[in-house]
Structure 1
Amino acid sequence: MTSSAAQYQGTSSDEDVSRRLLDSAAMLSYDPATEVDWESPLPADLYGLNPEWSTLYGTPLWDEMSEEQRVTLTRHEVCSIMSTGIWFEMILQQMVLRDQYAKNPGNPEFQFALTEIADECRHSIMFARACEKMGVPAYFPGRGTIELGRVFKTVASAEVAYGGILVAEEVLDVMQRDWMRGENVLPVVRTTSKIHVVEESRHMKFARQEIRERMEGVGATRRYTSSVAVAAGAYFIIKNLVNKGVYAAAGLDTERALDAVRRNEHHKSMLRSSCAHLMDFLAQSGLLTKPAISIYKSIDML
């Protein structure tokens, strides 16, 4: 038997996954303080995100906008998404800490959970600095959503907690894979997106494994309630990705812009495509019940 095989013999699949993720984190992690060029001026003609990911791209209103307005809008949109990311990363950290409270610190699962929290702290600071660099103020969800988030992070556990984490990370992952490759996207956004994609890939693997473990042998009632709770979390995340204040910041009429967003089939299609892999996993895990499907369809994730 090889030393590697001996190392993993007698451990659970959850421990195996966590140990491999710890090894990966040790080999490939980034320090945004040094990896991101925080000093160079921003090129005036580059977008905050790929235009195709703008909520107004493909609408008549987008065609009417000046290039300066398009650049401004995409910079505010990406900062709104980053701000929402910070908000949810605060929720995520508290849920993971609660889940690992008083567990064996020698367990690889415990150690990777703390590694993930450390990553999320750096990501939140990175996003905050990126928004400051772009000169965009923080965007926050509404007061009602903030309070619901407070409840969610307090009561969500097991597959609901990790399902909420996975939903937020999967949706952003697909977007950022495009942003990091976008030659017409600001370097600060491309680099922060690359860092987030690399490190969040480990977090998503961890969340999927935790969901698989927690869903083993669960009954129909728990599967039903958990599926709805995860979908409800997704609803508030998606609804708060792009704050309505971004349109006024670009010199647009807010109500007209919101109406264009509601009618924008291109953006809806982009969002559905970004969620395809996530929906497959939720279905395989037993977390895609009829009520959950209705919620996902209402926010164009299905």
Structure 2
Amino acid sequence: MKDTEQNAQRLLNGSVRRSYDSAVDIDWDAPLEEGKYFLPPHLSTLYETPLWHELTPAQRVELSRHELANLLSVGHWFENVLNQALLRMIFEADPTARHTHYALTEIGDECRHMLMFGRLMEKIGAPYFRQPKAQLAITRKLPGRLRGLNLWVGALIGEEIFDVWQRRIMDDPGMQPAVRRMMRIHVVEEARHIQWAREGVARRMRYASWWEKESLGRMVGFGGQFFNDQLMHRRLYARAGLDPDEAYRQAAANPHFRQVKQEGFDKLRRFFDEQGIFRGKARERWRQAGFIA
């Protein structure tokens, strides 16, 4: 446990040096800039499809507005699930331990991120997306299931894929300034969360039982389709003023967006391979969902 405490102390030190408060670190009063995107065009689910080429520049910007609102909505519920799981983890933990202190620090970070996501949706004028009842039934149960190895792997799936895309957004001068600033804040703080979760996976894999590794390794395969269902759905396209069925059909068959998903998952996939996470048909399920070539 000495290494665990040392790692937690190092992350706590980093939190002191580089943490943000979006209430003052984002200029919420600055007006949106005409013609600038809310997501880079190449990250759109419809980029380079026949439908994309039919859209006017204004329609493409409007699509990006709702695609960003969708991603922020997913981020909001995921941070909520993660916080509940972390609170369960430390319920009986030593309150003097640095590991407990960093868990509480991350919970604080995630609360500020949820607030930041909500304020950005309000600013861009796009309502949040509620999960359909079937998906909501699953996510409501997740906090109680995210324990041990499940917690760390689940955290990485929710954080690392988005992290790859966020880094592109924050460096793109064609984006709305408030969006770029929010992404930069999130990238800096999530880097510590990702590091903590990776250390948690590596540590847990050293002493987890065969059953824990095997059950998680098989169950993780279902994460690919569940994650994919959050990224593109008919409600998103309907809000953007498009034919929802046709837009969904083209997005689902879009080879460009399939490549975007693979690039987002590649770093995490390599880590899972190093740790021996995938078991059974898990890798094939992620491939079927478009995250592995």
Q: Deviations over 1:189-213 (max 9, x none)?
A: 1011001100000000111111112
* Paired position in structure 2 for 1:107: 97
* Paired position in structure 1 for 2:145: 155
Letter in 2 for 1:147: A
Alpha carbons 2:52, 2:60 under 8 Å: kept: yes
Instruction: Give the percent of matched residue pairs that are identical in Structure 1 and Structure 2.
Output: 34
1:259-270 to structure 2, matched below 5 A, reads 259-270=249-260
Alpha carbons 1:105, 1:111 under 8 Å: kept: yes
Alpha carbons 2:202, 2:275 under 8 Å: kept: yes
1:237-276 to structure 2, matched below 5 A, reads 237-276=227-266
1:49-68 to structure 2, matched below 5 A, reads 49-68=39-58
Aligned positions, number: 292
For 2:48 and 2:238, the matched residues in 1 are separated by: 19
* Paired position in structure 1 for 2:201: 211
CA apart distance, 1:244? 2.5
1:109-258 to structure 2, matched below 5 A, reads 109-258=99-248
* Paired position in structure 2 for 1:31: 21
Answering whether residue 72 of structure 2 is matched by residue 82 of structure 1, we say yes
Alpha carbons 1:55, 1:264 under 8 Å: kept: yes
Shifted more, 264-273 versus 236-245: the winner is: 236-245
Q: Secondary structure at the match of 2:221?
A: helix
Moved over 4 A (4+): none
Gaps of 5+ in 1: 1-10
Q: Deviations over 1:36-73 (max 9, x none)?
A: 11011111201111100000001111011011110000
CA apart distance, 1:243? 4.0
For 1:235 and 1:254, the matched residues in 2 are separated by: 19
Alpha carbons 2:37, 2:174 under 8 Å: kept: yes
- CA RMSD in angstroms comes to 1.3
TM-score normalised to the size of structure 1?
A: 0.93
Q: Deviations over 1:175-232 (max 9, x none)?
A: 1000101111111110110011000000001111111122113343321211223333
TM-score normalised to the size of structure 2?
A: 0.96
Letter in 1 for 2:95: P
